[in-house]
Amino acid sequence: MAFKVIEIKKSVLDRNDRDAEALRQELKAKGVFLLNLMSSPGSGKTTTLMGTIPALVQRGWRVGVMEADIDSDVDAHTISATGARVIQLHTGGMCHLDAAMTRQGLEALGTDELDIVILENVGNLVCPAEFDTGAAKNAMILSVPEGDDKPLKYPLMFSVCHALLVNKIDTLPAFDFDLAAVEQRAKQRNPQLEMFPVSARTGEGMEAWVGWLDRQIRAWKEQ
């Protein structure tokens, strides 16, 4: 009996890629820089944002944040203390955001009078890497307690990101973690990847990260 085989994942990803590129161009026309921030749960995304947002504001940028979680609004409440415009996105069990979901979030957040929107994606090193959100740049956080082998285990995540923050470096003495090995393994996957060892808790290394982000926003707006 003859039957048709449909490559569902390829079809879904192709459609998402088209939607993402359309969204990216719309944001470009509005002068809005979208950063897609990804990591495992507990890596320190929200704490990193708590240090990043005030530093961006000091540089004159108007910041909005979209907090994506399967449930709860804990992170949105935390981020709201920075004074940034913030919205909580519930994915209804989905382990990632795609371009259509990102567009929904942006419409609810509102991009008028914003220079940068940061999407804190669902905590996961697998699914978020597969879906283009329409972001101008992708960044990820790897925390020291997670181990230095993650570029070997989750190569796609490291391949699609432009910046890698290695967070919780203040805990390095307590863990068998090799910063040089992480950089070498990550750059085998992505030679253009920029790495920033930071401690969001103490502030160490955050100036270099924010400086990089500031330059990316300026370049995006000037293109």
pLDDT (tens digit per residue) in 49-58:
999 999 999 9
Look at residue 8 in the predicted model and tell me its pLDDT: 45
With a CB cutoff of 8 Å and minimum separation 6, the contacts of 222 are none
Neighbours of 7 (CB within 10 A): 9
Question: pTM for this structure?
Answer: 0.92
**Which residue has tokens 């330059």?**
215
% helix, strand, coil for the chain, step of 5:
50, 20, 35
Q: What are phi and psi of 34, to 5 degrees?
A: -105, 125
The 10s digit of each residue's pLDDT in 27-78 is 999 999 999 999 999 999 999 999 999 999 999 999 999 998 766 678 888 9
Using only the alpha carbons of the chain, give its radius of gyration.
Answer: 17
Contact 163, 132 (CB under 8 A): no
Consecutive 10-residue averages of pLDDT for the chain (223 residues): 53 88 97 97 94 97 90 81 91 82 94 96 92 97 98 97 98 97 96 98 98 97 87
Look at residue 70 in the predicted model and tell me its pLDDT: 63
Exposed, middle or buried: residue 62 (CB in 10 Å: 0-12, 13-18, 19+)? Answer: middle
Distances (CA, A) of 208 to 69, 99, 100, 196, 212: 28, 29, 32, 7, 6
CA atoms within 13 A on the CB side of 8: 0
